[in-house]
Amino acid sequence: MLEKKRPSATPTNPKRPPAPKRPAWRKYADPATVREIFTRLRAQNPEPKGELEYVNPYTLLVAVVLSAQATDAGVNKATRALFAAADTPQKMLALGEDKVRDYIKTIGLFRAKAKNVIALSQILVDKHGGQVPRDAASLEALPGVGRKTANVVRNIAFGEVTIAIDTHLFRVSNRIPLARGKTPLEVELGLLKIIPQEFLLHAHHWLILHGRYICKARKPECARCVIADLCTSAEKTV
């Protein structure tokens, strides 16, 4: 007679503890969270400034064009001498492409950028009386100027409400998240939709600086972050 098998003392399929629930996916942060985030960022830095050095709207435009795929510190190092020699489109044209190239040769893509600086300077003289236009369409028609560059110039030089999306801001907005998006334009439009009017003028400065110094790409410094408790990122370290 076959002996019946006794049930194992240890269950073969022990119940696992339930996995922690992930926060519900949202495209936008809720209004109370958005307001609290910017309230804290403003308290920490009431008058945020961009880190590119310039002396007028024209030199700001040139500096932002030169900053593509380069650091602000590297651009500033090159432009101090350049802007001392040429701080208007007319002076830049008199300087010429070869000399501009010599001034900025420490910056990445300096040959193409020197060509763009001369070309945009010529257009400013020919079509805009040597002045930097404040409308987006005219700015984006200039060589080397895209939507982000135009938004920076409009915001800083003319006090327009714009959101200039760079890699830092794009990461921060998707990581917290504030406004999720697969493209810079999607993030920009999302942020314009959810940020209260009182914060809009300086919003992109706060987020860019936060991404550059705190919410870094590889090692976010969450222990120093003033909005860590409002962040739902899986990358959060506190």
Confidence of residue 114 (pLDDT cuts 50, 70, 90): very high
At 8 the pLDDT is 53
217: pLDDT strictly greater than 80: yes
Q: What mean pLDDT comes out for the span 31-56?
A: 96
At 9 the pLDDT is 53
Of 72, 87, 102, 166, which one is the catalytic site residue? 166
40: pLDDT strictly greater than 80: yes
**Tokens linked to 199:** 């914060």
13: pLDDT strictly greater than 60: no
Domain range 57-158, CATH architecture: Orthogonal Bundle (1.10)
**Distance (Å, rounded) from C-alpha 21 to C-alpha 122?**
59
Residue 94 makes CB contacts below 8 A (sequence gap 6+) with 86
At 235 the pLDDT is 87
236 catalytic? Reply is: no
Mind listing the pLDDT tens digit for each residue in 173-182? 999 999 999 9
Mind listing the pLDDT tens digit for each residue in 72-101? 999 999 999 999 999 999 999 999 999 999
7: pLDDT strictly greater than 80: no
**Distance (Å, rounded) from C-alpha 107 to C-alpha 76?**
10
**SS3 of residue 28 by DSSP:** strand
DSSP for residue 21: P
Sign of CA dihedral 225, 228, 229, 231: positive
The secondary structure of 65-116 as a DSSP string is HHTTTS-HHHHHHHHHHHHHH--SHHHHHHH-HHHHHHHTTTSTTHHHHHHH
DSSP for residue 5: P
Domain range 163-230, CATH architecture: Orthogonal Bundle (1.10)
Mind listing the pLDDT tens digit for each residue in 156-174? 999 999 999 999 999 999 9
102 catalytic? Reply is: no
Q: What mean pLDDT comes out for the span 138-157?
A: 97
Residue 30: what residue type? D
Global confidence as pTM = 0.85
Q: What mean pLDDT comes out for the span 214-235?
A: 94
CB 185 within 8 A of CB 147: yes
Confidence of residue 10 (pLDDT cuts 50, 70, 90): low
**SS3 of residue 152 by DSSP:** helix
The secondary structure of 153-214 as a DSSP string is HHHHHH--------HHHHHHHHHTTSB--SSHHHHHHHHHHHS-HHHHHHHHHHHHHHHHHT
**Distance (Å, rounded) from C-alpha 143 to C-alpha 139?**
9
DSSP for residue 19: P
Give the start-to-end residue ranges of the domains of the chain: 57-158, 163-230
55: pLDDT strictly greater than 80: yes
Q: What mean pLDDT comes out for the span 36-51?
A: 96
Please give the biggest Cα pair distance in the chain.
109
At 236 the pLDDT is 87
At 238 the pLDDT is 85
C-alpha to C-alpha distances, 76 to 2, 10, 67, 109, nearest whole angstrom: 88, 69, 9, 16
Of 148, 216, 219, 229, which one is the catalytic site residue? 148
**Distance (Å, rounded) from C-alpha 225 to C-alpha 236?**
10
